[in-house]
Chains A and B, each alone.
Chain A
Amino acid sequence: MPIEKSDLLQGTLDMLILKIVTLGPIHGYGISQRLRQISKEVLLVQQGSLYPALHRLEKRGWLAAEWGESENGRQAKFYKLSAKGKQQLKKEESNWNRLAGAVASILQTAQ
């Protein structure tokens, strides 16, 4: 069953975006494609709603943005991870792993 955005924790979407951007400069469309592919269509984020999140992360200084030429020769806004963003991602990943581990172990013990 796909997970709608409203079910997706906001912090989680941010973390996913940061993770995808680690691979190199990428525009919004690219991010949404990746999100779909990697999550095997489980995470169905309405594509437009990606942008407020991107702008918020940019404003916090976790993403840096630049206008550049896209693969089909058109101007697009490319996002890449900043040093601060790298740290933040590390923190969120470890938090997430802890949380996920804890939840998983609870679920296992409860079985």
Chain B
Amino acid sequence: MPSWKFLSRARPHDPQFDSELRFHIDRLTEENIAAGMKPEEAWRRAVLEFGGAEQIKEELRDVQRIPILETTMKNFRWALRFVRKTPSFSIVVILTLALGIGANSAVFSAIDEVLLRPLPFPQGDQLIFLHQYNPKVQTPQTRLAPVRLEEWNRMNSTFQGLAGYYTEDGSETSGPLPEKVTEALVTPRFLQVLGVSPALGRDFSPDEEHFGGPHALLISDRFWRRRFGGDPNALGNKLRIDGFSGSIVGIMPASFAFPSPDVDVWASVPTDAPFAQDRGSTWYLTIGRLKPGVTLEQARANLETVQAQLGKQFPQTDAHLTPGIAPLKEATVGGVRSSLWMLFGAVSLLLLIGCTNIVALLLARGAQRQHEISVRLSLGASRFAVVCQLLTESLVLALTGALIGLFVAGEASNVFRGLAKELPRVEEIHLDARIVLYTLLCSVLATLVCGLFPAIRGTRGNLSGALAQASRSQVSSRTPLQWFLVGVQVALAVTLLGGAALLLRSFQALGRVSPGFEASHVLTFHVSGSWGETADMKGLTQRIDHIIETLRNTPGVGAAATSAELPGVPTEFQTELKFVEGPADPRHKIVAESRFVSPGYFSTVQIPQLSGEPCQEPKFIVSPGAPGGVRLEANSVTVLVNHSFADTYLPGSKVIGRHLQVLGNAFLRPEDAGTVRGVVGDAREEGLNRQPGPTVYWCIGAPDPDPYYLVRTATEPMALAETLRKEMHQIEPARSVFDIMPLEAHLNDAFSENRLRTILLSFFAVTAVSLACVGLYGTLSYSVTVRRREVGLRLALGALQGQIVRQFLAQGLVVTFLGCLAGWGLAAAFARVLSGMLYGVSPSDVGTLLSVVLLMLLVAAFAALIPSLRAAHVDPMQVLREE
């Protein structure tokens, strides 16, 4: 007796068994006594006649036992036998499920980590991202000025604290060679707000957070291992970054990656420094931690009151500002939400197609097993027991599929991470218990979806009929349902294919746009610099000019320039402008994208000059009162405007020679008016996917200490990388050169989310179409098998092979066509979901959808052709002999 039997013992001892059996033995004994035996002998004989009472009691218990476990074990054994006996069927089902469940789990793991989980900070949902909002300018959301951040922090009553940060790339020169480091410059309270402490050492002390205090640094775990080999004695060492020396006071935990995983060093920037008191500056990205129980709305109202007070106190700078707040998680991942859910929807459709496919296969299989099932039912098996057994079979298949699916998901999420480098929080994506659980859930659901219906259907109906029919199969009455399922698969596959085709078309359209500049043969890189250098604008400008000059004279370089932003990579910096000449028209504001470039920019990226002259670098004059002791010489700033600007704001009149002022910008003051020297062609500066708008190019090559350097090369851009690095090291030995990359690579990266979803959706769509074809093929093959006799008869009676082929082919294609029609409708709905992700193609583009349908029909025709041909080659004699 198996040892697990005790598990299901329902009643260990039933006194009723005893009395029932004793009654029988007593009666036998009485009978024996009546026949003349002595009582002893009579009883002995009775027991003997009755048989082993203990064994019988055990049997009775067996009968009464609730046989869940045994039945389950038995079902599993049968299911395993079934899987082994039908390997090709099982492999198809298992692989389909493995793909479906695997892809589903991979995308779900991304959604789980990126969207569902709280940020990896204690009480991450209390963390809020803040900005200031100025409705008067086109890019109204800006970073905070240090003073305002401190005021908000002091005056509010809903936050535990606010802190700001920004990052810049610097050069660390305490080692033998300068090393590029990414530095996060943070305000006081930074770590307290995040709720994180260093793994080793300590947070900044109050002294270190005030102006004039010692310079202290926190370093990342990665930097600690790279630079100090993980030695705890690194604490107290000094680093020298861009000329500022500070000692390491703490090492952050490896899991800490805020604001980005690239950060090597966190340095405290005092907000009480004299140079940080300008209310117009926009330095800090700002985060805050809500007090427990405070809602977002309460916090918003509270900050609005605070800002209203400040607006009264500083009407010039603060009157128009309002605070903007959003959960930090939303601010971090909000942008990819729709993409991820779209992919999840797509991959769920894929799983659904897979399940539909399996339902069709199981139905066909069930029809073949009709006889076996009927025999079982007629032998007294209850319908419930047979359904359970059939479900166990699907469960075994689904679980095996899910297990393989987990491996698929593991691999898939690696691929996903590789493709989605730009995705926020992508480094957090991994498989864990939740994903395993999710996968299990998927497989149980898949079982129910795939198995229940065929099982119920298979066990229904007239027993004796099925038995009598035995192998003499008629034209099957069961196929309409299977054909319906094939239609569903085709419809879903067309939906996915339609979506993928629209994304592909947008991707192509994006590649085909003529951006107005020439991105090929341009190499870009950075040379480290720090914001501290802006104290000496003249020196900074000279330094950058010198670099540009050196680059231009390097052999192999056609032209060189700097630009604050890269052309074509989505960014915007909209500013409100005003012509110095003539009265301003308050109803027609002049708003334009401002780009800061050195004069060589236009020849480097080949934006044509349409009229006027090239622009020039501004001049500086000594001015003791100004920051850094110099200021821009009046009228020395020159600008070029693009064609669209001239057309929009000065149609028909002369634009060259006019003077433009910037309103509401900290860097260019109204007195630094720029003279328009010429007009250049329109270029898609703000992103390849956007039409060029009015743009003003300020010819200032050193707007910040670390602009992009752009170099036009004669040959493949990266071939020049080493030469340029050496040149730079000669003239700037203390600075590091980094991020050397062709401009085209930047453009690719900028649209990597786009690429990710296009690649994934295309992959899903192709899989879906293949599954639909497998479904069509399987169902048609089954139908051919079932109708062999009929086909054989017809052939014997003189039907032509061509007619048979046409008939089966038509059956497959009509279903496919109907599926395509339904799919067209679904695809149109799906396209509406996609509309925000499309470029240069309308969501209801008939051409795209039509070609998708044609493609589907074509592929389906191939899938249907093989079984149809096989049908035509049925040998009538053989079929008739089989009967």
Chain A residue at minimal CB-CB distance from B52: A48
Residues A77 and B51 in contact in the complex (CB < 8 Å), given A51-B60, A59-B64: no
Q: B60 touching A29 by the CB < 8 A rule? A: no
Q: B23 touching A59 by the CB < 8 A rule? A: no
A80 to chain B minimum Cβ distance, whole angstroms, is 15
**Of A46, A55, A75, the contact of B60 (CB 8 Å cutoff):** A55
Q: A77 touching B49 by the CB < 8 A rule? A: no
Q: A75 touching B21 by the CB < 8 A rule? A: no
Contact with A along B471-512 (1 / 0, CB 8 A): 000000000000000000000000000000000000000000
Kindly state the separation between the CA atoms of A29 and B64 in the bound complex, as whole angstroms: 21
B50 at the A interface (CB under 8 A): yes
Residues of A contacting B63 in the complex (Cβ-Cβ under 8 angstroms): 52, 55-56, 59
Contact with A along B1-34 (1 / 0, CB 8 A): 0000000000000001001110110111010000
Q: B24 touching A47 by the CB < 8 A rule? A: yes
A6 at the B interface (CB under 8 A): no
Residues A47 and B23 in contact in the complex (CB < 8 Å), given A52-B62, A55-B64, A59-B64: no
B34 to chain A minimum Cβ distance, whole angstroms, is 12
Q: A29 touching B28 by the CB < 8 A rule? A: yes
B56 at the A interface (CB under 8 A): yes
A1 to chain B minimum Cβ distance, whole angstroms, is 19
Residues of A contacting B56 in the complex (Cβ-Cβ under 8 angstroms): 48-49, 51-52
Kindly state the separation between the CA atoms of A27 and B27 in the bound complex, as whole angstroms: 11
B376 to chain A minimum Cβ distance, whole angstroms, is 14
A74 at the B interface (CB under 8 A): yes
Q: B64 touching A51 by the CB < 8 A rule? A: no
A76 at the B interface (CB under 8 A): yes
Kindly state the separation between the CA atoms of A77 and B15 in the bound complex, as whole angstroms: 13
Chain B residue at minimal CB-CB distance from A47: B50
Interface residues of A in 43-78 (CB under 8 A from B): 46-49, 51-52, 55-56, 59, 70, 72, 74-77
Residues of B contacting A25 in the complex (Cβ-Cβ under 8 angstroms): none
A82 to chain B minimum Cβ distance, whole angstroms, is 16
Q: A48 touching B21 by the CB < 8 A rule? A: yes
**Of B23, B28, B62, the contact of A74 (CB 8 Å cutoff):** B23
**Of B23, B51, B53, the contact of A29 (CB 8 Å cutoff):** B23
B467 to chain A minimum Cβ distance, whole angstroms, is 12
A89 to chain B minimum Cβ distance, whole angstroms, is 14
Q: B23 touching A76 by the CB < 8 A rule? A: yes
Q: A29 touching B27 by the CB < 8 A rule? A: yes
Q: Number of contact residues on B: which range applies?
A: 20 to 34
Name B's interface SS.
helix
Name A's interface SS.
helix
Kindly state the separation between the CA atoms of A46 and B53 in the bound complex, as whole angstroms: 11
Kindly state the separation between the CA atoms of A42 and B24 in the bound complex, as whole angstroms: 21
B59 at the A interface (CB under 8 A): yes
Q: A46 touching B23 by the CB < 8 A rule? A: no
Q: B51 touching A48 by the CB < 8 A rule? A: yes
Q: A28 touching B60 by the CB < 8 A rule? A: no
Kindly state the separation between the CA atoms of A74 and B20 in the bound complex, as whole angstroms: 11
Residues of A contacting B55 in the complex (Cβ-Cβ under 8 angstroms): 48
Residues of A contacting B26 in the complex (Cβ-Cβ under 8 angstroms): 74
Q: B51 touching A46 by the CB < 8 A rule? A: yes
Interface residues of B in 33-66 (CB under 8 A from A): 49-53, 55-56, 59-60, 62-64
Chain A residue at minimal CB-CB distance from B64: A55
Q: A77 touching B20 by the CB < 8 A rule? A: yes
B302 to chain A minimum Cβ distance, whole angstroms, is 71
Residues of A contacting B27 in the complex (Cβ-Cβ under 8 angstroms): 29, 72
Residues A52 and B59 in contact in the complex (CB < 8 Å), given A59-B64, A77-B16: yes
Q: B23 touching A52 by the CB < 8 A rule? A: no
Contact with B along A12-52 (1 / 0, CB 8 A): 00000000000000011100100000000000001111011
A31 to chain B minimum Cβ distance, whole angstroms, is 10
B478 to chain A minimum Cβ distance, whole angstroms, is 27
Q: B21 touching A51 by the CB < 8 A rule? A: yes
Q: A48 touching B50 by the CB < 8 A rule? A: yes
Kindly state the separation between the CA atoms of A94 and B52 in the bound complex, as whole angstroms: 35
Residues A51 and B49 in contact in the complex (CB < 8 Å), given A29-B27, A59-B63, A59-B64: no
Chain B residue at minimal CB-CB distance from A60: B380
Kindly state the separation between the CA atoms of A49 and B62 in the bound complex, as whole angstroms: 13
Kindly state the separation between the CA atoms of A47 and B32 in the bound complex, as whole angstroms: 15
- 18 further A-B contacts with Cβ under 8 Å, apart from A51-B20, A51-B21, A70-B23, are A28-B24, A29-B23, A46-B49, A46-B50, A47-B24, A47-B50, A47-B51, A48-B50, A48-B51, A49-B59, A51-B56, A52-B56, A52-B62, A52-B63, A72-B27, A72-B30, A75-B19, A77-B16
Sampled A-B contacts (5; CB under 8 Å): A29-B24, A46-B49, A47-B49, A48-B56, A49-B56
Of all A-B residue pairs in the complex, the 8 with the closest CB atoms, nearest first, are: A48-B51, A52-B59, A48-B56, A55-B63, A46-B51, A29-B27, A48-B50, A29-B24
Q: Which residues on B are within 8 Å of A, measured CB to CB? A: 16, 19-21, 23-24, 26-28, 30, 49-53, 55-56, 59-60, 62-64
Q: Which residues on A are within 8 Å of B, measured CB to CB? A: 27-29, 32, 46-49, 51-52, 55-56, 59, 70, 72, 74-77
